[in-house]
Amino acid sequence: MLKGLILLLWLGLLPRAAASERIALRVQGLPSESSTVPAALAEQRVVEEFLKRYPQVELRPAEGLSIQNMNVEASTIMMIAGGIAPDVIRMQFRSSDSYIQQGIVAPLDEYLSEMPEEGREILGSIPSQILPVLRKQGPEGGTHVYGLPLNLMVTGLYYNKEIFRRAGLPDRAPRDWKELEAFARKIKALGPPVEPLYLPSGTAASFGLMNFMRGAGADALKEVGPNQWKASFDSPGALEAFLFYYRLVEIDRLAFRRAKSLSIEEMEDVGMLFRYVGDTVTIDPELWGFGAVPKGPGGRHGSEINASILSVFSGITDPVKKRAAFDYIAFVTGDEADRIRVSTLVELGLANVINPISLRKFGFERYLVMAPPAFEAEFAQALADSRPEPYGRNCNLIYQEMTYPIDQMLLSRSLKQAWLAGDMVAVRAEAQGILERAVNRTNERMIGYVAPEVMVQRRWVASGVVAAIVVSFLVVGRFLVRSFSHSAAMISRPVGQHSIVPWICLFPALLLVFVWSYVPLARGTQLAFLDYKILLPSDFVGLDNFANVLFDATFWNSILATLHFAAWTLTLGFFAPILLAYGLHLIPRQKILYRTLYYLPSVISGTAVFFLWKELFNSDGILNQALRLGGLEATRAWNEDPNLAMLACVIPGIWAGAGPGCLIYLAALKGIPPEQFEASEIDGAGFWSKTRHIVFPGIKPLIIINFIGAVAAAFHGATNILIMTGGGPNGMTEVSSLLIFFEAFSRLRFGPATAMAWIIGSMLLGFTVMQIKRLSRMEFKTTR
Amino acid sequence: MIFSPITERSLRVRLLYLCIYALLSLGALSMVLPFVIMASGSLEPDNRGRGSAFFPAYLVNESALWSRYLQAKYKGRNELFRMSRGDANVDLYNPPPAGKDERRVKLWREFTASHPIPELQLATGFSDVRASSPYYNNRAFQQHLQEKYGIVEALNTALGTTYKRFQNVVPPNITLTGAGLRMTPLIESFIAFSASEVPMSRKFPWDAGGFYRAVFLPRVVGREIGDYNARYGTSFRGYAEVPFPAVAPEVGADVWTMFVTKLLRPNFVGLTEAGRAHFVQAGLSHRDFIAFAARPGDLRVETLDCRFAAWAMERHGVEGARIPQPELDALAFQSEKGFWKRVFFLQNYQYVLEAILLQGRAFGNTAILVLLMVGGTLLVNPLAAYALSRYKMPQTYMILLFFMATVAFPGEVTMIPVFLQLKEFNLLNTFGALVLPGLANGFSIFLLKGFFDSIPREMYEAAEIDGAGEWTMFWMVTMNLSKPILAVKALAAFVSAYGAFFYALVLAPDPGMWTIMVYVYQLQQSAGTSVVYASLILTAIPMLLVFIFCQNIILRGIVVPSEK
């Protein structure tokens, strides 16, 4: 009866839908048309089938350009803010809550309730562990389903069959931590270049740690109330996981860490690694065996379950379009699409890489013989024990947050000494301390939890700081107005008559500066006092943004990094063009040749310079090769080495900037009247004395002005560092402007980002004012 | 000159000059070296090869060219090269010298003369399945389709594809292993293209025996031949000696069967007499029969190497004949090496030109943006500066301060609101978004005003007497006398408009609005290093030309502040 009714409704809708205009859906994550890898072919067929069933729908890719070292959220956010939001949004577990709480994705309940069995069938086929990720309390308080999972993936421990054979190990993955360690020792005995276990390093190193955390029964976060989360990686289980990790990496050296993922060739020398297995495995099952992540003291396998979540953009106003977006999601995450994927891969001869559960589900049991024998059992076990990636508030930051305690432990000398001395009580005490501090920090930064009495205190400090900023701006403004009116009166000369003419000439510039500098400044200032949300109404939070930023260690770290960066750019970058110009000025012949050579680098446009140098800084790049020829041990890419990363961010700028930078000094040097040199020559002055008494005074005003400008400039320039290091390693190159950029565009925290910008802006105020004041007393001439 | 001509000849000054020249030359070297690396890399056909970073060796050295040739022919994939040699120990990036056994070649020639080779038995060399690949046959295939269909829509209709341009078409991934080829119109047209337009010398046979010996056995049985000998009680000296018969052998039948039933593409596997009977009984598809139901005696491998060996045995009584691929490669190389040298030299640049500069509206967009930016800056800023310099107004200093204060604005604060404002004015995806926010520059106006102040008042008075209007005065006096400084401003505007990719990306996400630099950035995400280098060099050319031809004007236009 019900089915009949639905059918009737469906038939009634059909002609209208066919007659109505085509619906264009902008979709994230459409398969690339030109890709011929098996997974993409399968996806292409799923899409083809969808279009066959919904002929009125047109699918358009909604891919923002990906920016290196920048997470995918950023381009989605920009698309949404720019009014070209995708209709179907693809999100990760860890970032889903931000999307939900910002009101970006729409609840799907109304559509699910129209489905057969009110969608229970759909939801029923989803592993129960991940239902809480999809069904959540939304910004308005009600609990809804916000998305459906695509491509379920489970982590496992892959082992290299060849290396296991050579080490005399059984053809299976280790079952628990003890066995993992024993296996790793045997592999280690094979000697270099074989490495027992690979773990990622870099800003997301804790991603590898999570495999042990889950095994030890510990969680990164725990839910203390409905959608109220607190960091919990200081629990006893977590401590065990951290210590085990520490031992593998630092004490026994059974694991090697690297930020860059391994290529297929490099994997040949690695014994074990953690990796996802989903509907498609990416590595050759002939070479790699699969096992569930080893059990820890908690007695559970530490596998993770993950997926992409497809959701509908909440800003779609046309109900027909919204419906079509849901239809798309329901189809590609549904059984029929899975059947197409599995059968395509079987057809392509890849039955041995498909997870056995899917093979059985779609009637391809006979292909199970192609899969490695233990695969099915191991996969079932991994799935049964698996837990979802952290998905609470701001969890896209969790890996970064948990990496800080790892780095602190790895860098701590006392911890290592205590361990080597066998004093485990001291080891535990210190590790526990590190974890507790890190948890507090995470609670504050990520979850935004600060004890109320602390917050009151902070607000007082913040109001003091904000008052100081306001006062300094006022004082400085007054000072500027005074000094300007004084000097301006001197420059301007009374010419011509009063008329409307100057105002006409000034109008375009005045208007443009007002609209594109002053108005944005005012609006930006407003942002600093809001908990800004892109689509939902923003809340006024008073001084809280300032209060939190001022007590945020990351912010102060970024200031330190900025000073570090500024020190390098000012010592190397600032003086290089001056010395170069003097050299070019002194030489009697081939000036133009040298000048052109030095100018050459700047013809490569800005950002490309950093791409080029990144290539040269590579672990096997030309610079490391040269160092190795010189007998030095140089294996790490410069931009990943803690000692060289900052230099790697500075050098390309100097390389490209020295040539154009020296031109102004060249001009200034030409402006020094030659008579002065002749006179001093008669007085018997030598080279140094001329340099000191004539040349230096001649270009001093220019140097001072440029220096002030360079100090201010050293506080900017985030894009280049973003490309070179992305802020790593260990946040050592995360300068303030990069932090602000990340806060705003990858964490959606526009309020704190603007507060930071104001604080830094006020720190630089002095320099800028000095610059303006000096400039107002200068006259400007070309030298020829 | 800071030294007089007489002192200049003294020893100390000469020593000083020597030091300065030495330092400058050292510095110049560090300026130029990355360029040399880049230029040399941009001429390499594929950056995965090892060689001198400073000069593309294949241009002068025949063995380097041979190595490059093989890398391109075997698509940079060691697996394929090892298959063609039947040897697990050869390395495509350090290939052995060309083979010379003419007797084998003669035998092979005789075979091919009497047996036409079906296209499906051959792999098309010099092609790749990566989307942004400059490989020769990728481009040849794209051109072939373009000639055949004219416009990309016709191609999409004919082949049921959804390409946006011909450059996106990628040859299908055809392999020796896998579960059979699902013939699509695209695959069919590639095979037809390969059959009709790719000469035999640019292909190589799918050699099942070679793959078995060089890739499969070492992987499955063990890296050393000792592993195989121990398992099967044989005494081979290397995997190269292990036979790969067309039908299941007595020794090592299990690995043979595993390879033929589970790995080899079913198109390459035929049935024996007995097999045909079983096949009818089983009632499965050809593929499933091979994978699940066939018994060892049912199957016969029908790749070229097996057929050739059978023919040689039957016709000449030669045992274990192998396809003389090393010799065939060497012959093909000798006859075409000049051609390939030219191809390798040019292919990255041709690819970049086709992919970026000549496609879509990239070139036009860049030109418009640069013109708007340069024209706009040269109008708005000097006009304002002129007004401030020429007219004594009571508000002059306030206005100057209004302009100068923008220097102190924290850029990160204004970044987000500027973006929101562009959206509100509906300017996103227009040139307005790229030009308007940065057009008027407070500091620039201040600088220009300072410079205009130094223009002698008499010039204006003379012009006024001649009856010049305001516009004429601005144009003929102020602008005319400030050409060099304006040239510097124009250059700065040009550089920023030409190089801007980041903002172009954020403010104009519509590909119809993208400039050359945005396309280059896109290319950098997917292409290999050598193509990236070529794109950097090509895009640097306009900047280089501007500097070389304008450097004297620019130098004269640099404004130096000095204390009053």
Residue in chain A lying closest to B495 (CA): A605
Q: Tell me the mean pLDDT in the region A55-76.
A: 68
Band (pLDDT 50/70/90 cuts) for residue A492 is very low
Band (pLDDT 50/70/90 cuts) for residue A3 is very low
Closest chain A C-alpha to B113 CA, distance in angstroms: 34
pLDDT on residue B207: 93
- Separation CA B169–CA B186 (nearest Å): 9
Per-residue pLDDT reduced to its tens digit, A426-479:
888 888 988 888 888 888 777 677 777 888 888 888 888 889 888 888 888 787
Per-residue pLDDT reduced to its tens digit, B372-422:
999 999 999 999 999 888 887 777 878 888 888 887 777 777 877 887 888
The most confident of the ranges A277-286, A348-357, A380-389, B268-277 is B268-277
Whether residue A505 and residue B384 make contact (CB cut-off 8 A), yes or no, is: yes
Per-residue pLDDT reduced to its tens digit, A222-263:
887 777 788 888 888 888 889 999 988 888 888 888 766 676
Q: Tell me the mean pLDDT in the region A333-352.
A: 79
Whether residue A678 and residue B53 make contact (CB cut-off 8 A), yes or no, is: no
Cβ atoms < 10 Å from Cβ of A626: 12
pLDDT on residue A371: 65
pLDDT on residue A407: 79
The answer to whether the beta carbons of residues B83 and B210 sit under 8 Å apart is yes
Phi first, then psi, for residue B102 (nearest 5°) are -70, -25
Whether residue B21 and residue A595 make contact (CB cut-off 8 A), yes or no, is: no
Q: Would you tell me the crossing angle of helices B529-557 and A591-599 to the nearest 10 degrees?
A: 130
Identify whether B56 is preceded by a cis peptide bond (ω within 30 of 0): no
A541: its two tokens:
């939070």
Give the residue, A720 or A581, on which the prediction is more confident.
A581
Band (pLDDT 50/70/90 cuts) for residue A490 is very low
Which one of B24, B292, B439 has the shortest CB-CB distance to A366?
B292
| Beta pairing class for A530-531 and A539-540 | antiparallel
**B406 torsion bin: left (phi>0), alpha (psi -120 to 50), beta (else):** alpha
Residues of B in contact with A168 (CB under 8 A): none
Residues of A in contact with B560 (CB under 8 A): 664, 667-668, 671, 702, 780-783
Whether residue A780 and residue B450 make contact (CB cut-off 8 A), yes or no, is: yes
Average pLDDT value over all residues in chain A: 80
Chunked into runs of 10 residues, chain B (564 residues) has average pLDDT values of: 73 87 91 86 68 77 89 85 89 82 88 90 84 80 90 84 76 74 80 92 93 85 85 90 90 87 85 89 82 83 92 88 91 92 90 75 88 93 90 80 80 78 83 87 86 83 83 85 84 85 70 80 73 87 85 77 70
pLDDT beyond 90 at A128: no
Residues of B in contact with A501 (CB under 8 A): 387, 391, 470
Closest chain A C-alpha to B148 CA, distance in angstroms: 19
Residues of A in contact with B173 (CB under 8 A): 36-37
Burial class (CB in 10 A: 0-12, 13-18, 19+), B95: buried
- Separation CA A379–CA A291 (nearest Å): 7
Which one of B27, B178, B447 has the shortest CB-CB distance to A780?
B447
Which one of A81, A484, A671 has the shortest CB-CB distance to B397?
A484
Whether residue A495 and residue B390 make contact (CB cut-off 8 A), yes or no, is: yes
DSSP SS3 for A200 = strand
Number of helices and strands in chain A (H, E): 35, 17
Instruction: Give the number of residues written for chain A.
Output: 784
Closest Cα partner for A716 from A602, A617, A569, A614? A569
DSSP SS3 for A528 = coil
The most confident of the ranges A531-545, A674-688, B26-40 is B26-40
Cβ atoms < 10 Å from Cβ of B342: 10
pLDDT on residue A319: 87
Burial class (CB in 10 A: 0-12, 13-18, 19+), A54: middle
pLDDT on residue A34: 55
pLDDT on residue B48: 53
pLDDT on residue A5: 39
pLDDT on residue A264: 65
* pTM of the model as a whole: 0.77
Whether residue A601 and residue B397 make contact (CB cut-off 8 A), yes or no, is: no
- Separation CA B215–CA B207 (nearest Å): 11
Q: In terms of C-beta distances under 8 Å and separation of at least 24 residues, what long-range contacts does A264-268 make, across chains too?
A: A267/A160, A267/A198, A268/A160, A268/A162
pLDDT beyond 90 at A295: no
Output the CA–CA distances (angstroms, integers) from residue A428 to A596, A727, B109, in the order listed.
62, 31, 76
Question: What is the radius of gyration, based on Cα positions, of chain A?
Answer: 31
Which residue type sits at A511?
L
- Separation CA A85–CA A26 (nearest Å): 8
Burial class (CB in 10 A: 0-12, 13-18, 19+), B235: exposed
Cβ atoms < 10 Å from Cβ of B467: 7
The answer to whether the beta carbons of residues A663 and A582 sit under 8 Å apart is no
- Separation CA A139–CA A534 (nearest Å): 13
- E-strand spans in A100-186? 135-137, 143-145, 148-160
Per-residue pLDDT reduced to its tens digit, B321-348:
899 999 999 999 999 989 999 998 998 8
- Separation CA A236–CA A390 (nearest Å): 19
Whether residue A597 and residue B28 make contact (CB cut-off 8 A), yes or no, is: yes
Instruction: Give the number of residues written for chain B.
Output: 564
pLDDT on residue A6: 42
Residue in chain B lying closest to A37 (CA): B173
Q: Tell me the mean pLDDT in the region A748-759.
A: 85
Place of tokens 């009632």: B283
Which one of B7, B396, B442 has the shortest CB-CB distance to A513?
B442
B291: its two tokens:
């994978």
Residues of B in contact with A289 (CB under 8 A): none
Angle at A671 between CA A666 and CA A675, to 5 degrees: 125
Band (pLDDT 50/70/90 cuts) for residue A82 is low
Band (pLDDT 50/70/90 cuts) for residue A366 is low
Chains A, B: CB contacts within 8 A come to: 394
- E-strand spans in A115-269? 135-137, 143-145, 148-160, 195-200, 221-225, 228-231, 255-258
Closest chain B C-alpha to A6 CA, distance in angstroms: 34
pLDDT on residue A613: 86
Closest Cα partner for B404 from A390, A622, A632, A476? A476
Give the residue, A545 or A264, on which the prediction is more confident.
A545
B61: its two tokens:
């050295």
The answer to whether the beta carbons of residues A747 and B525 sit under 8 Å apart is no
pLDDT on residue A15: 39
Place of tokens 């889903």: A96
pLDDT beyond 60 at A7: no
- E-strand spans in B488-529? none
Closest chain A C-alpha to B122 CA, distance in angstroms: 19
pLDDT on residue A9: 39
